Amino acid sequence: MTLRAAHAADGCALAYRITQGAKGAPRVALVHSLALDHRFWDAVITAAAGRFEMLALDARGHGASRAEGPFTAAQMADDVAAVLAHAGWDRAIIAGASMGGSIALAFAAHHQQRTQALLAIDTTAWYGPTAPADWARRAKLAEEGGMKALLDFQRARWLSETFRATHPEVQAAQEAIFLDMPIGAYAAACHMLGALDLRAAIAGITAPTLVLVGEEDLATPPSMARDIADRIPGASFEVLAGARHLTPLERPEAIVAGLARLAG
C-alpha cells in the first residue's frame, strides 16, 4: 500500500497509510512501538476486517519518517495531529503501543478536541526515577554496537515464548524492521522516553479511555498500566493473560475488541 506524506511544523516528513473501512466506519489512528513502523499494526488491521477506517503512521525518526533528534513526546504528539490534519480527519480514536502508547497519552492530553477515545496499550506515563540513566544506557548500547546489540534483549521482552514458537514469521518480520532503525533516531527516541513524565498531564484527559497490558509485560508491567488508568478519570483497565509487551502482534483480536468498546 502506498504511503502518504504529511509534514510536521518543523518540516519533517511524516509517512502514513490509510486502510479504508465500511462506509461511516469509526476512524482509528495507530502509533507503533519503539524502533518499529506502521507495519506493526498489520495483524490488527486484518483482524478488524473493515470495521474501522485505520490510519497507521511512521513516528518521527522511524520507518519512512526519517528525522534526526532530539525528540519530545509533545512534539511527537503534534506530529500525530499534523498527520490527522493532512488526512482530513477532525478527530479519531487514538491507539498506541509501548512508545506509541506514550505518544497517544500525550496526544490525548494536549489535543483533546481531536481525541474521540484513547486506547493505551502496553505503555506508561513515566518510567520511574532512574529512567533517564536507564534509557541513556540503551541508547549507548546501540551507538556502540548497532541495533543488533539489543536484539536478544528485545526478543525476550516482545512476545511470549509460546507465541514465538508458533509464529516465528511474526518475530522475524519485526526483527528486520528493528535492525533497519537508524542509530541516531533510535538514541533520540530513547532519550525522549527517559525524559517522559506525563503523570500530571493525563489527569486532564476527558476522552473515554481503555488501558490494556500483557500479563507478562516486563517493559511496562501491569502496575504501570494500572497507574495510567487510576490517573485518567473513568478509564477502564484490562490485563491480557499470558501476553508480553507487544500485544497488538500477539493478540490482535483483543485490540480490535478494545477499539470496538471505545467506538460504542
Q: What is the pLDDT of residues 233-256, one digit of tens each?
A: 999 999 999 999 999 999 999 999
**Per the structure, how many domains does the chain have?**
1
**CA separation for the pair 152, 149 (Å, rounded):** 7
Of residues 264 and 195, the one with the higher pLDDT is 195
Average confidence (pLDDT) over 24-52: 98
**CA separation for the pair 233, 137 (Å, rounded):** 35
Residue range 120-133, pLDDT digits in tens:
999 999 999 999 99
Instruction: Print burial letters for 153-171: b (CB count within 10 Å at least 16), e (below 16).
Output: ebeeebbbeebbeeeeebb
The residues that bridge with 214 in the sheet, in sequence order, are: 240
For 129, the domain range is 4-263
Q: What is the predicted pLDDT for the residue at 202?
A: 98
Q: What is the predicted pLDDT for the residue at 1?
A: 67
* Average pLDDT score over the chain: 97
Residue range 138-174, pLDDT digits in tens:
999 999 999 999 999 998 899 999 999 999 999 999 9
Residue range 63-105, pLDDT digits in tens:
999 998 999 999 999 999 999 999 999 999 999 999 999 999 9
Q: What is the predicted pLDDT for the residue at 101?
A: 98
- Helix H or strand E encompassing 15: strand 13-19
Here the CATH number for the domain that contains residue 43 is: 3.40.50.1820
**CA separation for the pair 104, 119 (Å, rounded):** 8
Residue range 190-220, pLDDT digits in tens:
999 999 999 999 999 999 999 999 999 999 9
- Tally of CB atoms within 10 A around 137: 12
Q: What is the predicted pLDDT for the residue at 156?
A: 87
The answer, as to whether pTM is greater than 0.75, is yes
Check if the beta carbon of residue 209 is closer than 8 Å to that of residue 118: yes
